[in-house]
Structure 1
Amino acid sequence: MSQPASPLPDRGPSGRRTAKGSLGSTAAKRVERPAPLRQVVYEAIAELIINRTLEPGQHLVEADLAEYLGVSRQPVREALQRLQSEGWVDLRPAQGAFVHLPTDEEADQLLSVRSVLETHSAKLAAERATAADVSRLRELQEAGLDALAADDTEGLVAANAALHAFITELSGNKVLAELIGLVDRRVRWYYTPIARPRGRDAWTEHEELIQAIAGQDAGAAETIMAKHTERTRQAYHERPEAPRS
């Protein structure tokens, strides 16, 4: 009686099992796995901090966060420890976890570095941008104006980040893009409370910047971005809840 076909792979000359067909001679196709739960929880809490649903100085209770996110306390605890190592959360002995309360000096240092990076990015973008790139910039500008008209803070922050990110992409400098990426989240965090106060001025400056890039005027783009980022830095220090000396 004939034997049923074996479900196991055949053995090759070396004695090792090989899959039937040509899998042994082609690149392996790896199964994509969902992100680990601790990573998902980390990203969720980080975003709640960035958009200020969780405000600076706020006490973070593991049980409350776990219930809100629909998970156990263990991935929340792991996420808080990682957020503490990255400066988003302060873990205080016998008190618990709190959203980090940034000092004006911290914000000033980061926004100053951001200004240097993005000023150079704008210069390079003006030298490289195509007509299609400028059209995309105008689409991003329209998204920001729509959010402004709707008085949508979250939309303003997202549109601002998207426009600046695309200018960075247009620079064509991967190192510059990587460095700007490192500060992007904190820039969004600092920008959230001033997105509406900056309002029309910020988007007028964006329009001037787009015009400079469209005209391939690298010098003007550099100057406009320098002034734009400096005004954002000043606006942060002048925000309503800023500490007074």
Structure 2
Amino acid sequence: MLFKGLPYESIPKLERPGSVRQQVYEALLELITSRTLHPGQHLVESELAGHLGVSRQPVREALQRLNTEGWVDLRPAQGAFVHEPTGDETDQLFGVRVLLETEAARLAAVSPSGEGLERLDQLCATGEAAVAADDVDTVVTANATFHACVMELAGNPVLAELAAHVEHRVRRYYTPIVRQAWVEHRELIAAIAARDDARAQQVMRAHTVDARTRFPPRPGN
């Protein structure tokens, strides 16, 4: 057992050949963004190395990189801990997401493709079925893929690149909130299909603003 409450099967298995350093980084990042490793949790190099089947050096390097990127806090004489975002950080992150996602929805509705709309409809159906089956992992994945598809339909690669970075950062918040998103997703599909860019923008803005209000505030933030 790596940590209390963390099942062994949840630890990613590293595949070789390839950069061990990169694989360890990606494995730890996945554990953090999926909330398998929860905010504030102590990360012990030796335990991580043992369960990932590597030496402590690539783990140490990965933790340093994650610290630089804001995922991990390195505390002198204490060690590494999963970063625990403040209320202000969370507000800022969701605020940027609202701007990017709203513009993407507007652009997607300007000239939607039939293939793109079909893809959105399929993803929505997948998400709805996963909610009914209480399959949280599939709900989270379908939600992220749905928003990525809207970005693709927007046809702006720079916007999509920025949004992908932000989306990755907000994924850690999704588990408790994405079950409620799918009615709004259906409304967005309808607006895009109708080429109603103003309506698409309105729906996406309400959807992304509401996502922040659904996330429970942290005490003291």
What TM-score, normalized to structure 2? 0.89
Cα offset, 1:128, TM superposition: 2.2
Which secondary structure does the structure 2 equivalent of 1:135 belong to?
helix
Matching of residue 116 in structure 1 with residue 102 in structure 2: no
Are the counterparts in 2 of residues 126 and 212 from structure 1 also a CA contact under 8 Å?
Answer: yes
Cα offset, 1:34, TM superposition: 5.2
Aligned to 1:243: 219
Aligned to 1:152: 135
Matching of residue 226 in structure 1 with residue 202 in structure 2: no
The superposition leaves residues 204-223 of structure 1 with CA deviations (integer Å, 9 ceiling, x where unpaired) of 00000011111111111000
Aligned pairs (5 A) from 1:126-141: 126-141=109-124
Aligned to 2:73: 90
Cα offset, 1:35, TM superposition: 3.7
Aligned to 2:13: none
Separation in 1, partners of 2:29, 2:201: 32
Aligned to 2:189: 210
The superposition leaves residues 79-123 of structure 1 with CA deviations (integer Å, 9 ceiling, x where unpaired) of 000000000000001100000000011010010110011000000
Aligned to 1:72: 55
Aligned pairs (5 A) from 1:146-185: 146-185=129-168
The superposition leaves residues 49-73 of structure 1 with CA deviations (integer Å, 9 ceiling, x where unpaired) of 0011100000000111112212111
Are the counterparts in 2 of residues 212 and 221 from structure 1 also a CA contact under 8 Å?
Answer: yes
Q: Which amino acid aligns with 1:54?
A: L
Separation in 2, partners of 1:54, 1:194: 18
Separation in 2, partners of 1:46, 1:71: 16
Separation in 1, partners of 2:112, 2:53: 45
Separation in 2, partners of 1:135, 1:35: 37
Which secondary structure does the structure 2 equivalent of 1:193 belong to?
coil
1:147/1:41 CA distance change after superposition, 3 Å: same
The superposition leaves residues 179-236 of structure 1 with CA deviations (integer Å, 9 ceiling, x where unpaired) of 11221211111223333xxx2x310000000111111111110000000001001111
Q: Which amino acid aligns with 2:219?
A: P
Aligned pairs (5 A) from 1:46-61: 46-61=29-44
Separation in 2, partners of 1:156, 1:35: 31
Separation in 1, partners of 2:59, 2:104: 37
Separation in 2, partners of 1:192, 1:73: 31
Matching of residue 81 in structure 1 with residue 64 in structure 2: yes
Which secondary structure does the structure 2 equivalent of 1:98 belong to?
strand
What TM-score, normalized to structure 1? 0.81
| More displaced 10-residue stretch of structure 1: 220-229 or 148-157 | 148-157
Aligned to 1:191: 174
Separation in 2, partners of 1:36, 1:155: 28
